[in-house]
Structure 1
Amino acid sequence: MFAQFLTPSYLPFACAFVVMIGIGLIEAVGFGLGHLDLDGDVGTEAHGGMLDWLGLGGELPILIWLTSLLGCFTLAGVAIQQAATSLTGAPLTWGLASGGALLAGALLNTLAANGLARIMPGFETTVISTDELLRQRGTILEGTARRGSPARAKIVDRHGQAHFVMVEPHDDGDAIGAGETALLVRRQGKLFFAMPDRDRLLRSM
């Protein structure tokens, strides 16, 4: 069966299986590296339409969804080729089999993705928008943050997830050194502006 899986008729499904395993390994390693903050939100108007049909309406992480789709595509393709071999004595051409597997895999993945979204509620409760990092304290990791010269800072959100952002002081004359904490007060694109956490009034906030 393994040798058959490497023949041209099965090659698209073999490739999809390899990619699926690779993404799965990336996801597994990623769980130990903290939260990767991707600044992109899907508008609510997109829900209830094509995204729901594809299984993305439940805010399932895109890599989990893609892994599921590749798995469904692979299973559908192998099933199609096995059925064709049983009926005609030979598998279909890879192009014809891939087209059928893509349609069948997409339909199957809708069910699989919706099921995964229901049993993985933790993803919905730990994902936050970038703006929610405002009024949070971050620690400068390296270098000194000055106006025009941002430094990398670490912020831990209310779920205990770590976020890494670039920070500049809010006031022109301030400088925030490595190891110091600062309160994030505003954002401009991906750049945050913070006030050094030095006076008692600021620490009470």
Structure 2
Amino acid sequence: MIYFDIAVQRPTILVQGKGTLDVGITALTGASGNGKSTLIKSLAGLIKPKAGFIKQDENYWFHHGQNLFVKPQARHVGYMPQGNIIFPHMSVLHNITYSKRGDEPLLAHILERLQLERYSHTKAGNLSGGEQQRVALGRALYAKPCVLLLDEPLSALDWTLRHQVQADIVAIIKEWNIPCLWVTHDEEEAKAVGDYRWSFEKGILQGS
């Protein structure tokens, strides 16, 4: 589990959140600029909070009082950022194994589970939007994460692809049996995927 109690100063707002990420999918909603991406980047180690702590089970990733800050690569999180989340010039195989944390059996399982075996040597930029999302998820899973952090994972897809890719991603997360924070601005998406629901209002995390 991931435990956190943090405050992060952004240019226009103080983002504050306290909660526990348990096994399953926690859907996080809220208006733009209220703190959703700030929280997910803080948990990933891409932003250093101004106060508080973050820990995974008994291991602290951040502790302001102890001047402790663990770098992103040492946190073993699976992070899917918003926007352009693949390396289009690289093959599917090289995209997925980018973290170099996994092994051959894990790679074979991911390629099979995500139905990407026949594309392993194809440049990722030549795939459809839905296939690229699967590549991004494969890369996050290959990192052997203790938590998955998905920032608007369906935002790059058109409406015809969203429901299918959403169902696929949810099924795989359930199979992996780890905590997942799924950020979305879409309330219907949050209802469909979330085992738990959080939201941000004026920079303060609600429901955690």
User: TM-score by structure 2 length?
Assistant: 0.24
Structure 1 or 2: more strand by fraction = 2
Q: Which has the higher helix share?
A: 1
Q: Tell me: higher relative CO, structure 1 or 2? Use CA pairs within 8 A at least 6 residues apart.
A: 2
> Which one has a bigger Cα radius of gyration?
1
TM-score w.r.t. length of structure 1: 0.25
